[in-house]
Amino acid sequence: MTHGMDPHRLLVFREIAHAGSIAGAARALGWTQPAVSQHLRHLERRAGMALVLRLPRGVRLTEAGRLLLGHADAVAARLQAAADDLDALAQLREGTVRLAAFPSASATVVPAAMDLLLRRHPGVDVRLREAEPPEASDLLAAGEADLAVTFAHAGQEPDDHPGLVRTPVGEDPLLLVLPRSHPQAVPGDRPVDLRSLAADGWIAGCERCAAGLRRACEEAGFVPDVRHGTDDYVVTQALIARGLGVGLLPRLALDAFTAPGVAVRPVPGLRPRTLYLTHPRETDQIPAVRAAVQALRDVLAPRVRAAGDPDHG
């Protein structure tokens, strides 16, 4: 009454119609005959009319039965199609992953992972949106992305939205970038002590990224003189190459692009930023997302140090 017919009984009726008899339907279903008989009885009671004529050799559909059979076939087809669709998603013949990643990852590991994912599962539709971690988190929370590659500098606690899960997948060291003409830019890739740069001008970006620099300098015993502001690693290096300052850039950014006029040096004791995969709690139950996670891990593994990841214990 509330809805239409009982779909389960409708499918049993379909078996009856297909088998041509109640007993035949029971055999097809692996049931006993009265079980099917009772389903038919309930259907007929609800319909208020006979759906089949009981003949000595089986049953014949009435007009109402023929009508119902058409609908039953359509329902069965839909149920099968639903199962098939889910199966296609499970086997990754179909499916969509919407990635979000910060710029230096979007220019390096993420395209490599997308390529790997597409090689493994050509049917998957991968889409990337470049976004800094806070924005990526927003995208995830708003349902506009399924999986994000994010990072946090040492000592920073990313303020993810509730319901998001963050898994560390590696560490990305910060490297000192100097003009080639800088006194510390001696050949040999020798480590540089930050204290030797207390008098230099610095280039830093947004609060989130500048915090890493300030913390490192604080530990080295000075306050950096930040003269220029940008998050763009190409802009940063253009300024540095012209001798307008020095800066810290993560290795991924330098992998993406290193300006000819700069020198890169490690800084002992400088804590790396941590890379994370972030996603809504349930999306790791989605095959396409799981495959994307795997591809990202496979690409990241040789490039970044493992960072307290239990899966890699």
Partner DNA sequence: ACGACATCCAAGGAATACTTATGGCATGAC
Partner DNA sequence: GTCATGCCATAAGTATTCCTTGGATGTCGT
Output 54 or 305, the one with its CB closest to DNA: 54
Helix (H) or strand (E) holding 176: strand 174-179
Token couple for 298: 């496979």
User: Interface with DNA includes 58 (CB under 7 A)?
Assistant: yes
- Look at phi and psi of residue 269 and say left if phi exceeds 0, alpha if psi is from -120 to 50, else beta: left
Backbone angles phi, psi at 177, to 5 degrees: -115, 125
d(CA 187, CA 208): 32
Shortest distance, position 128 Cβ to DNA, whole Å: 26
Token couple for 9: 């009984």
> Binding residue for DNA (CB under 7 A) from 4, 30, 122, 260?
30
Token couple for 203: 């280039």
User: Quick one: what does residue 128 bind among DNA, its own copies, none, with the CB cut-off 5 to 8 Å set by partner type?
Assistant: none
> Binding residue for its own copies (CB under 8 A) from 122, 143, 260, 313?
143
Output 40 or 97, the one with its CB closest to DNA: 40
* Binding to DNA in span 235-294, by CB under 7 A: none
User: Interface with its own copies includes 134 (CB under 8 A)?
Assistant: no
Q: Which of 264, 260, 270, 242 is nearest to 187 (CA)?
A: 264
Backbone angles phi, psi at 130, to 5 degrees: -75, 130
d(CA 29, CA 25): 6
Identity (one letter) of the amino acid at 145? Answer: A
Segment lying near DNA (by CB under 7 A), choices 79-87, 92-100, 156-164, 170-178: 156-164
- Write the binding mask 156 to 195 for its own copies: x where contact by CB under 8 A, - elsewhere: ------xx--------------------------------
In sequence order, what are the residues at sequence separation of 6 or more whose Cβ sits closer than 8 angstroms to the Cβ of residue 204? Answer: 210, 213, 224, 226, 228, 229, 247
| Interface with its own copies (CB under 8 A) | 1, 3-5, 7-8, 10-11, 44, 47-50, 52-56, 60, 62-64, 67-68, 71-72, 74-76, 78-86, 89-90, 95-96, 143, 162-163, 280-283, 285-288
Tell me which residues touch DNA (CB under 7 A): 6, 8, 21-24, 26, 30-35, 37-42, 54, 56-59, 161-163
